[in-house]
């Protein structure tokens, strides 16, 4: 589950990670009050107004702006709230901004002693260990650093049985070229950050930038935090941070009816039982020259009701030009699924406006094929996996 920057910073702060302080606001008046309150706390009169949406690259899209006085806070917050923010990480329509973070300005103008560092904590699936990835080249263009000068990005791998060791935190501070107070502050920062990562059951922290101020403070200016859904039962307070306005509406709806659905860019809708078979199906569609429109695992019990719900969800996507149903009847009998498909087709009537290719394999597959073939409906049946993928291409061309 992804959360907003301000929520990520709250979590970091609760584990002693120093952050750029801020207060969230939902309209221009709230923003002005937030700025006043912050000035009382921090003494700084300048503020940064930051759009809170689940997408990075906000600075590039005009969603992060400096306000030098309260009038500017009011104007900028008023402009940003309600806008559709388009960034390199959103779709062309962008994301609607419902709230901003009014944050203390932590950059001192013209200060060459300030530096932006990149730091993330994530699981390296290849080694099965967490790692801290970091670079002196933080800021808004880390993607091009990774592409053009990958040697400027360092990794520190952490043994899960012993956790982050003090020498590792020191190595990070050293590789970042820090000394004196900044070095010590970085060691503290990294240590607290790693503790926060483990204790919060997060799957990703991306702090870009971590700022070294001219007076040698180290603080998180940005926070992209992804929490592990499977651990949310342990963190009721984090679970409440969910903002479903930021999520794909069809994916939210699918989750509500218990379907495992991920929206993708292609034109071939897929309905499959089992995550592994769903992935194999997507591979085969691609191999046959097509592009999957979604990942959809209907689960073990592919009965008529679920099949119908799955069709409804897939058909919401206007890009879908054909649907491939690929079911393996292991736990569930193929003839029951076939009956489910036929019933769902009849119930949905003219809502089904694209060709459907069905491949059922496993228990009673032959009876299932007969059911489909004799249904009188416009469903193409296939026996072999490859045959099914080829039929999809046939109906599309
Ligand atoms: P992102 O663009 O979505 O990654 O949002 P960030 O939170 O990283 O902010 C983007 C950029 O805004 C940062 O890289 C900084 O250069 C700038 N920025 C953020 N906070 C401040 C601040 O307090 N003062 C100034 N002057 N710039 C800031
Ligand atoms: Mn950032």
pLDDT tens-digit readout, 344-366: 888 888 888 899 999 999 999 99
pLDDT tens-digit readout, 230-251: 999 999 999 999 999 999 889 9
- Measured in angstroms, how far is the CA atom of residue 150 from the centroid of ligand 1? 23
Residues of the chain with CATH 3.30.1490.20: 21-105
| Correct CATH for 249-396 of 2.20.25.10, 3.40.1000.10, 3.40.50.261, 3.40.50.2000 | 3.40.50.261
Give the gyration radius of the chain's Cα atoms.
Answer: 26
- Atom 9 of ligand 1 has which residue's CA nearest to it? 59
Q: Is 185 among the residues known to form the active site?
A: no
Q: Is residue 44 over pLDDT 90? A: no
Average pLDDT, the chain: 94
For ligand 1, what atom is nearest to the CA of residue 116?
Answer: 14
Listed residue (304, 251, 272) closest to 389, CA to CA: 272
> CATH for 1-20+109-247?
3.30.470.20
DSSP-derived letter for residue 15 is T
pLDDT tens-digit readout, 99-151: 999 999 998 767 778 999 999 999 999 999 999 999 999 987 888 998 999 99
3-state secondary structure of 262: strand
Ligand lying nearest the CA atom of residue 103: 1
Q: Is residue 2 over pLDDT 80? A: yes
3-state secondary structure of 259: coil
Region 175-204 average pLDDT = 97
Q: Is 118 among the residues known to form the active site?
A: yes
pLDDT of amino acid 303: 75
Residues of the chain with CATH 3.40.50.261: 249-396
Q: Is residue 214 over pLDDT 80? A: yes
Residue tagged 């607290």 (tokens): 192
Is ligand 1 within 6 A of the CB of residue 9? Answer: no
Q: Model pTM?
A: 0.86
Helices (H) and strands (E) in the chain, counts: 13, 18
Q: 285-317 burial, b for 16+ CB within 10 Å, e for fewer?
A: beebebebbbbbbbbeebebebbbbbbbbbbbb
Separation of alpha carbons 230 and 234, rounded Å: 9
Residues of the chain with CATH 3.30.470.20: 1-20+109-247
pLDDT-derived band of residue 164, with 50, 70 and 90 as boundaries? very high
Q: How far is CA 357 from the centre of its chain?
A: 31
Is ligand 1 within 6 A of the CB of residue 66? Answer: yes
Out of 5, 137, 156, 206, pick the active-site residue. 206
> CATH for 21-105?
3.30.1490.20
Is ligand 1 within 6 A of the CB of residue 59? Answer: yes
Q: Is residue 331 over pLDDT 90? A: no
């Amino acid at each position: 589950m992804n959360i907003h920057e301000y929520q990520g910073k709250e979590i970091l702060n609760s584990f002693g990670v120093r952050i750029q302080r801020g207060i969230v606001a939902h309209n221009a008046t709230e923003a002005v009050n937030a700025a006043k309150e912050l000035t009382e706390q921090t003494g700084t009169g300048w503020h940064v107004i930051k759009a809170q949406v689940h997408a990075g690259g906000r600075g590039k899209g005009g969603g992060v702006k400096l306000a030098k006085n309260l009038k500017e806070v009011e104007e900028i917050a008023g402009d940003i709230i309600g806008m559709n923010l388009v960034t390199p990480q959103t779709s062309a329509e962008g994301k609607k901004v419902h709230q901003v973070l009014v944050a203390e300005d932590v950059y001192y103008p013209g200060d060459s002693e300030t530096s932006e560092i990149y730091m993330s904590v994530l699981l390296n699936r290849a080694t099965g260990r967490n790692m801290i990835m970091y670079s002196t080249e933080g800021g808004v263009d880390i993607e091009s650093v990774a592409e053009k000068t990958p040697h400027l990005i360092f990794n520190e791998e952490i043994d899960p049985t012993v956790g982050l060791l003090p020498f590792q935190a020191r190595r990070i501070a050293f590789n970042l070229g820090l000394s004196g107070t900044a070095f010590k502050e970085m060691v503290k920062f990294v240590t607290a950050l790693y503790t926060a990562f483990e204790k919060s059951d997060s799957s990703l922290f991306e702090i870009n930038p971590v700022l070294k101020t001219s007076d040698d403070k180290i603080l998180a200016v940005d926070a992209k935090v992804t929490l592990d859904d499977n651990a949310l039962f342990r963190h009721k307070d984090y679970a409440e941070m969910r903002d479903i306005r930021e999520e794909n509406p069809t994916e939210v709806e699918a989750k509500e009816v218990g379907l495992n659905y991920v929206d993708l860019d292609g034109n071939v809708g897929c309905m499959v039982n089992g995550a592994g078979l769903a992935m194999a199906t997507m591979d085969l569609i691609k191999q046959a020259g097509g592009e999957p429109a979604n990942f959809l695992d209907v689960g073990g019990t592919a009965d008529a009701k679920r099949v119908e719900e799955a069709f409804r969800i897939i058909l919401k996507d206007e890009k879908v030009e054909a649907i491939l149903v690929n079911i393996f009847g292991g736990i569930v009998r193929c003839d029951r699924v076939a009956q489910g498909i036929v019933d769902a087709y009849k119930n949905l009537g003219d809502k089904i406006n694209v060709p459907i290719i069905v491949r059922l394999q496993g228990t009673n597959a032959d009876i299932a094929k007969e059911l489909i073939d004799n249904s009188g409906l416009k469903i193409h049946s296939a026996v072999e996996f490859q045959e099914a993928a080829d039929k999809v291409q046939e109906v599309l061309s």
